Copies of this chain bind each other. A is one copy, B any other.
């Protein structure tokens, strides 16, 4: 609806049947078409949820108390609402909507709650992990575009747990970043570093999200993986991860992140590789090529996907700033 023409009717005697329409109307006065649309869909789904479940007062109260707990356990190093979004499949869904990938590019995966902004920048050959209990590995990568051209100077965030399955930020006495780094791709689009072989680990389950998983008889485990995030102006931000083949949780990831194209092998270094990269023969080696998509191509694909999907849903919308708003014309 056109907010400038929105007439807010006197609101009294609201009932199960007219509360939604009235709430939508009163939320439509800002003049921000996107906000109006998002709020309209939010309120409609929230109310439909209550109507379809005939939500009881005690269930409603339990849900609100649960949400307070999710907020209160969150901190600068723990975002329990991201975790909640992860286990409900919302994170993966939003990534799939916002970062569509053409067939020849690297697929995305979940960001998770453990990315930080303080890791050191390291050069090729350095190690990003200090855990002596971890099994050393060597990671050799390239970054290319869909035509196979090297992309240099990409900022790469890499993070993984230690050998016990904990990120540095999960330790109270964390002094400095560990198990994480930032790198830049070289002229050939390459970057390589030393790390430890990832291990499976449970997502933090000592909080409300863990309680919910238990209630649902779900395990909290993620298969062994290493996170990567790629950023360069002109290129679509790629948040992804690689997963070790044959992990026991490969097909039951608590946060739905695994894709076949992201499952990789760590293979023992032969003599030549060992010599070239200065590691012991037999060291586990991961070789992986990442493929980025230009921001322009992503935007085009995102718009096309949006218009197609919204048409199939029967919604009369148009895109403004690449995001849907109601089409009133």
Interface residues of A (CB under 8 A from B): 8, 10-16, 19-20, 22-23, 26-27, 29-32, 35, 37-39, 41-43, 45-57, 59-60, 64-65, 67-72, 74, 79-82, 85, 88-99, 215-218, 250-253, 256, 258-260, 302, 306, 309-310, 313, 315, 323-324
Contact = CB atoms under 8 A, between A and B. Distances in A.
A64 B216 CA distance: 22
19 contacts: A8-B252, A11-B256, A12-B259, A14-B92, A14-B256, A22-B89, A32-B215, A35-B216, A41-B52, A46-B88, A47-B90, A51-B97, A54-B309, A57-B99, A65-B81, A67-B71, A68-B80, A70-B71, A71-B74
Residue among A23, A99, A313 with max Cβ neighbours from chain B (10 Å): A23
A43 B88 contact: yes
Contacts of A10: 251-252
Contacts of A52: 41, 310, 313, 315, 324
A250 B98 CA distance: 43
Contact of A22 (B12, B38, B49, B256): B256
Contact of A59 (B38, B96, B256): B38
A55 to B, nearest CB: 5
Residue among A27, A43, A94 with max Cβ neighbours from chain B (10 Å): A94
Contact of A64 (B15, B79, B306, B323): B79
A312 to B, nearest CB: 10
Contacts of A315: 52
A163 B307 CA distance: 54
Contact of A12 (B60, B91, B250): B250
Contacts of A68: 70-71, 74, 79-81
Nearest to A81: B64
A266 B259 CA distance: 67
Given A11-B256, A47-B89, A96 B19 contact: yes
A320 to B, nearest CB: 12
